[in-house]
Amino acid sequence: MDSGLIIEKLVLVAIIFSISLLIAMYATYFERKVAAWFQDRIGPDRAGPFGILQPLADGVKMFMKEDFIPSHSDKWLFILGPGISMFTSLITSAIIPWGEDLTIFGNTVALQVADFNIGILFIMGVLSVGIYGIMIGGWASNNKYSLFGAIRASSQMISYELAMGVSVITIVMMTGSLSLKDIVQDQHGMNWNIFYQPVCFIVFFVCALAETNRAPFDLPECESELIGGYHTEYSSMKLGFFLFAEYVSMFISSAIIAILFFGGYNFPGMDYFSGNALAILSIIAFFTKIFFFIFVFMWIRWTLPRFRFDQLMHLGWKSLIPIALINLLITGLVIALNKGWF
């Protein structure tokens, strides 16, 4: 491998890393703003104009707080938990195709850190590892509420990952590839998967809400019953990491929803552009979609009340998995008929 490629990828990694963190930072600000708008309030407006320095103030507050480790906790696992959460949320951004190829100084730069041929499997795998952060954190706290939160998180994850996997398989069957780049290129222009697979989209979206522990599926951290769930015992920046990881994974989930169902960086009328103009417009299109879905995530959070745990399990096992399986079956039949296999 030549050194130019390594430098190119390192720069790309640094940019994507900082963009993910920046967006997650401002997602916390917009979460509070959106909540305020939905509740006829103004929201944070004291730190800087319109309160845009609020995330910095929050960060400073988190750092200044006492970093407390309970004496009965398993110290190393306690520290490891938030780290795993943050690491796994960030690592998925590596395989997301952010736009069409960019040409810089005569070099073609692919706006994707790594184009795995099994990209979507990688994402499912990393998402499953992500739950270990919550589980280990909850377990190491040595607190019954934390443990309850961790148990809820893991059972929720198991129930919803199945339906999510099946709906992803449906998309993979339509595309014929596991690579995210291929999935995006297959939806060229306005040929988005949402028009072919609306049911699949709904199943995937509900599962994405559950996987990111967002309302109405935020049972692992439900304040009214579990004090704070898995992060009851956490304080200072360790708590900040847990909360921040949620926003990073919200950003990544929005990106994946946009890739699988809304054409990724494709936009209608993209054939009229070429070269760097196309690349930049495609990046803008992709981020517009991501921001829209982040807004929808927040919109849902400030609209719906939390599910009861039995309702959550009922929805996962008895509704979403059968729907996803039937959808998979019908899609398979239609593909087989189209290819004339019967």
Partner 1 sequence: MQSLSNRKKVVSDKPMNFMEKIYLPAILGGMWITFKHLFRKNNTVKYPEEQRVFAPVYRGMHVLKRDEQGRENCTACGLCAVACPAEAITMEAAERVKGEENLYREEKYAATYDINMLRCIFCGLCEEACPKEAIFLTDRIVPSEFEREDFLFGKDKLVEPMNARIDVTKRQHTGQRGTK
> 3-class SS at 104?
strand
H or E stretch at 103: strand 102-104
* Footprint on residues 302-321 left by partner 1 (CB under 8 A): 302-304
Which of residues 26 and 38 has its CB atom nearest to partner 1 in the complex? 38
Rounded least distance, CB 46 to partner 1, Å: 10
Q: Which stretch binds partner 1 (CB under 8 A): 17-25, 37-45, 68-76, 157-165?
A: 37-45
Q: At 326, which amino acid appears?
A: I
Which of residues 126 and 298 has its CB atom nearest to partner 1 in the complex? 298
Nearest to 231 by CA among 222, 221, 223: 221
The torsion angle over the Cα atoms of residues 251, 262, 260 and 292, rounded to 10 degrees, is 10
Q: Which stretch binds partner 1 (CB under 8 A): 75-83, 150-158, 189-197, 300-308?
A: 300-308
Which of residues 273 and 302 has its CB atom nearest to partner 1 in the complex? 302
Q: At 60, which amino acid appears?
A: V
Instruction: Rule CB under 8 A: choose which of 38, 116, 196, 292 binds partner 1.
Output: 38
Does position 300 bind partner 1 by CB under 8 A?
yes
Which ranges of 115-274 does DSSP label H, i.e. alpha helix? Answer: 119-140, 144-175, 180-186, 198-211, 223-226, 236-261
Mask for 177-216, x = binds partner 1 (CB under 8 A): -------------------------x--------------
Q: Which stretch binds partner 1 (CB under 8 A): 36-44, 128-136, 149-157, 258-266?
A: 36-44
User: What values do phi and psi take at 109, rounded to 5?
Assistant: -110, 120
Does position 291 bind partner 1 by CB under 8 A?
no
Instruction: Rule CB under 8 A: choose which of 9, 13, 21, 37 binds partner 1.
Output: 37
Rounded least distance, CB 316 to partner 1, Å: 13
How many residues interact with partner 1 (rule CB under 8 A)?
A: 13
Question: How many residues does this entry show for the chain?
Answer: 342
Which of residues 80 and 202 has its CB atom nearest to partner 1 in the complex? 202
Which of residues 53 and 300 has its CB atom nearest to partner 1 in the complex? 300
Does position 42 bind partner 1 by CB under 8 A?
yes
Which of residues 107 and 319 has its CB atom nearest to partner 1 in the complex? 319
Which of residues 285 and 320 has its CB atom nearest to partner 1 in the complex? 320
Which of residues 40 and 271 has its CB atom nearest to partner 1 in the complex? 40
How far, in Å, are 5, 330, 341 from residue 62 at the CA level? 38, 50, 60
Does position 75 bind partner 1 by CB under 8 A?
no
H or E stretch at 108: strand 107-109
d(CA 189, CA 175): 15
Rounded least distance, CB 24 to partner 1, Å: 23
Output b/e per residue, 226-253; b: 16+ Cβ within 10 A. bbbbbbbbbebbbbbbbbbbbbbbbbbb
Secondary structure letter of residue 306 according to DSSP = P
Does position 40 bind partner 1 by CB under 8 A?
yes
Token look-up 């995210």 returns 180
Q: Which two tokens stand for residue 178?
A: 């596991």
Does position 116 bind partner 1 by CB under 8 A?
no
Which of residues 212 and 232 has its CB atom nearest to partner 1 in the complex? 212
d(CA 123, CA 137): 22
Does position 41 bind partner 1 by CB under 8 A?
yes
Nearest to 259 by CA among 181, 206, 175, 324: 181
d(CA 155, CA 130): 14
Question: Which residues here bind partner 1, judged by CB under 8 A?
Answer: 36-42, 202, 299-300, 302-304
